[in-house]
Structure 1
Amino acid sequence: MNKTKPLTTSKALSVMVFSVLATACASAPEYQMPEASVDTVYSEQQSNQFVNQQTVEAAWWQQFNDPILNDLVLQAQQQNLNIKMAANRVQAAQAYRSAVASFKVPTVSLGGGYTSYQLSKNDPLAGPAFGIENPISGGEFDLIEQQNGGFFAGINVSWEMDLFGRIDKQVNAAEIRGEQAEIFHQGMHTLVSAEIINNYLQYRGAQQRIAIAKRNISEQETVLKLVKSLSASGYGSDMDVAKAESALALSRAALPQLNSAESVHLNRMALVLAQTPSSLAEQLGEPEALPDFEGMIPLGLPSDLLNQRPDINIAEREMAAVNQELAASLVAGYPRFFLTGGPGLSAENFDDLFKADSAAWLASIGVQWNLFDGGRNDALVEIQQQRFNDSALQYQQTVNAAFVEVETMLMAYGNSQVFASNIEQASEQADLALSKANSLYRAGLLDHLAVLDAQRQQNLLEDAQVLAQLQTASSIVGLHKSLGGDWTMQ
């Protein structure tokens, strides 16, 4: 009859380790990239003739053909403080990853010094052992000295054997956090660039509207003088004077608001560029017309949005990082094995410290396993599990919000184009009306006030054209921002 041999201590430990390792590997969660079902085209794309499905371009703002704008974007990406702080976050995340990864390798420390000690004679254990009576001479001799001291020097080595991958998973999580910091840094380029582009366009638009307003005021002042002259000669009425004064007052009231808008957008650009408004105003030079955007806007495929939007990428990386932290918390309940060693030198006299007989060493292997913690580790695992569930919901919410934003900006861009087209038609009719009014006036069939009124209508529509152009420009910036992508300029 065969008898079962009992397991030796080493074999029992090996079986235990293998069993726990198999269990840990089986329970560790495996991360998979989330999937999102998207349409082949954006719903608003089908009715918008100003966009196409080509790949989104990087430096798209160059389609405004404005060298000053191009220089401002480059300066903003080099000088903006938020971008610099985001770069610091990348460096900090990389340093944190290196710090976590350092736990995978042995820790080696060097030490040395002098130790002096005195043993108590009244100690219940050591006291009686200081000396015994000499049976030959009758005297007493010491077994150990009550006071002693010595020099020491040595190296201490400690290492945790990461059998279940707890440290590896923490390193993975730290590395993913670093990827998040890099995505945030890239996304900050997008936010800052969009801010400088939009404010520059609004700044030029305000300057153009100020020029139109000043011209209107000058022309209305001329009209008011003429109306007052006609009224004094009996060819006009007080009502005509009141209407002319009302129109002039309305135009004058708009000018301070336009001046404020110009100043606000200048100050915002200065803040983005980290410089003073006065120096920026000098760099921008004389007022210029609002630049036009040339060409169509490439949207790419809706599925591309999942890779182009920084907020979506950060949300996805958050899921991956929390998943690694969840895996680390799962294996935290399994044994932890340690190796320690300390080769060194010890001697009573410093001259003997580096002799061969002064060599000493200490080595040990140990295991730590919390068999009972009152459910603390299970609670920590549950916390990480709920964090992962929350990050998955946040990812879904971010994706949904991104597609809604693109569809909204597509609609706004399309409507702005329709609005601009209608204003253009109205402006053409105003030009035609002014031309006919001038012809009738020269033929003596129309008075001068009617001609001036036609001129006023034309000026108002000219201002409306600038407003329509600003609305289109703002929607262009917003649409490109919603599409994401890497706007970083080298």
Structure 2
Amino acid sequence: MKTLKWSPIALVLTLTLTGCAVGPDYQKPEHTIDTEYLYQDTNGTVQDGLHNVQSQVNIQQNSTPWWYQFDDAVLNQLVADTQQQNIPLKMAAERIKAAQAYQQAIESFKVPTVSLGAGYSTAQFSDNGPLLGPVVSANNPLGVPLMDAQQSGFFAGATIAWEVDLFGRIDSQAQAAFIRKEQAIIFREGLNTAITADVIHNYLQMRGAQERKSIAIQTVNDQKTTLALVNKVLASGYGSELDLARAKAMLAASKAVVPQLATAENVHRQRLAILLGDTPSQMHQRLKQTSVNKMPDMTGLIPVGLPSDLLQRRPDLRIAEREMAAINEELGAAIAAKYPKFFLTGAPGLVASDFDDVFSSSSTAWIASVGVSWNIFDGGRSDAMVDIQEARFKNSALSYQYAVNNAIGEVETLLQGYGNSQEYQSLVLESKQQTDRAVSKAESLYEAGLVDYLSMLDAQRQQHLLQDRVVTARLQTAQVAVGLHKALGGNWQLNSNMTQ
């Protein structure tokens, strides 16, 4: 009768085929989310087109970016250049490369490690040595050396080592590394959104400061004309020194506003230079090529979608969800580390004393082994590592829940703010139109001597104030629109044909 024999290698391979991962299965978290926003009917928004990932991709590929609604070629070019030149975005791209390399390094532990070697060795053994001395010396019971005292030879071979991932420890680590790479990609996407929003914000602020400065300069010119009129009326004997003093005070106050607005304009221009990676002189040359000094207005509707769309559209929520998945894999690796580790090693090679004999069949030599390592007692260290990962997972789940609640609250706040800012802008514009009529009437009556200067001065003061307020109201509406788009998330990366 034949006896069935198992070789060590066959035994380990069998265990590998029948083994299974011991880590917990991961499922994406589920949250109770409202089916619609509380302020979904805000003026200037539409519930459209964001209900699944594929539709988001189609929107990104088939439509122009949302900031094109400002219809400002300079802004469009600044954004395109920023996404190509911004230094933090380049750093984020390098982080993705590092994450990919790290994943590859971890994946490499799943396959055998093979190293090749070759060389020549020589050794001289002592006749008086305690171990080999009697073998290489003639002073032994046989009276002749059993082995030459000097040994030399050539060798060539390979060393093969492989840890059999029976319980899925390495596989969990590799999967965690893959998720970390996903996080790096999502992080760059989110950074691109934040930086693009920062460019749009600073551009609007710069243009707003320029427009307000133009209004302030025009106000100064108007008040100079008014001052000349007061002097003329005073010379004719109808005016008063008080009217003249008031006119001069108003003119000085208006002049004081101009340098403040010039400072604000420069601050935002320098910020744009930093975002684009330009020098201040380069940014000055960029903006010098255009004569536009007016803040653009956004047209069109903002697609809001559903609250649940945020889970796939906002990078911060996607990173938080992927953090849970990564920690779950690291928890699996910590659990698997408590189980035995199996190793296969081998070293086939060629050994000969003469180089001419190295490649002959009789020079073949090899060694192979299978081993197991298992920490049966470590003072509770393995259990503590599992507890750490479990605590991290629970913390990441709470962080994700908090991030979801915060994201929905942010959108709700900006939706209401967007509606209120539009209403405020409309009322300010209506007030300015009425004030323009009042100023025109007051100037005519003053010149005819039917009202005093104080009445005309008050009407002009209201006009200048509302001219500036109209610009700030438009700027506020535009800035809330930028914030709302940012809060809604989505991919803001320009297509390659748009950056050319």
TM-score with structure 1 length normalisation? 0.90
1:3 alignment partner in structure 2: none
1:366 alignment partner in structure 2: 371
CA distance 1:453–1:222, change in 2 (3 Å): farther
Q: Deviations over 1:231-288 (max 9, x none)?
A: 4665333332332222122212211110011001111111111112222222222242
2:95 alignment partner in structure 1: 89
| 8 Å Cα contact 2:15/2:166 also seen in 1 | no
Stretch moving more, 107-116 or 281-290? 281-290
| 8 Å Cα contact 2:137/2:144 also seen in 1 | yes
5+ residue gaps, structure 1, are 1-6
Stretch moving more, 379-388 or 48-57? 48-57
Q: CA deviation at 1:326?
A: 0.4
SS of equivalent residue, structure 1 residue 112: strand
Letter in 1 for 2:492: W
| 8 Å Cα contact 2:134/2:140 also seen in 1 | no
Are 1:43 and 2:44 matched, yes or no?
no
Q: Deviations over 1:363-399 (max 9, x none)?
A: 1111111111121111111111111111111111211
Are 1:376 and 2:376 matched, yes or no?
no
SS of equivalent residue, structure 2 residue 39: helix
- Aligned counterparts of 1:292 and 1:18: Cα–Cα separation in 2: 68
CA distance 1:249–1:308, change in 2 (3 Å): same
Are 1:53 and 2:59 matched, yes or no?
no
Letter in 2 for 1:353: V
Q: 2:330 aligns with which of 315, 325, 330?
A: 325
**1:265-280 pair list within 5 angstroms:** 265-280=268-283
**1:122-201 pair list within 5 angstroms:** 122-132=128-138, 140-201=143-204
Q: 2:248 aligns with which of 228, 245, 261?
A: 245
| 8 Å Cα contact 1:154/1:342 also seen in 2 | yes
1:204 alignment partner in structure 2: 207
- Aligned counterparts of 2:256 and 2:31: Cα–Cα separation in 1: 52
SS of equivalent residue, structure 1 residue 44: coil
SS of equivalent residue, structure 2 residue 493: coil
Stretch moving more, 433-442 or 185-194? 433-442
C-alpha RMSD of the superposition: 2.7
Q: Deviations over 1:166-198 (max 9, x none)?
A: 111111111101110111111111011101111
- Aligned counterparts of 2:307 and 2:286: Cα–Cα separation in 1: 40
Are 1:102 and 2:105 matched, yes or no?
no
2:260 alignment partner in structure 1: 257
| 8 Å Cα contact 2:16/2:165 also seen in 1 | no
Letter in 2 for 1:92: A
Q: Deviations over 1:282-305 (max 9, x none)?
A: 222224211111122111101101
Q: Deviations over 1:10-39 (max 9, x none)?
A: 89x979x979977x64x5211110111111
Stretch moving more, 98-107 or 447-456? 447-456
CA distance 1:223–1:19, change in 2 (3 Å): closer
1:214 alignment partner in structure 2: 217
- Aligned counterparts of 2:364 and 2:16: Cα–Cα separation in 1: 40
Letter in 2 for 1:220: Q
1:403 alignment partner in structure 2: 408
Q: 2:28 aligns with which of 33, 36, 49?
A: 33
SS of equivalent residue, structure 1 residue 92: helix
Q: CA deviation at 1:458?
A: 1.9
Q: 1:70 aligns with which of 73, 76, 85?
A: 76
Q: How much identity, in percent, do the aligned residues show?
A: 53
Q: CA deviation at 1:97?
A: 0.9
Q: CA deviation at 1:357?
A: 2.1
Q: Deviations over 1:43-70 (max 9, x none)?
A: 1324x22222113565111111111111
5+ residue gaps, structure 2, are 51-58, 496-500
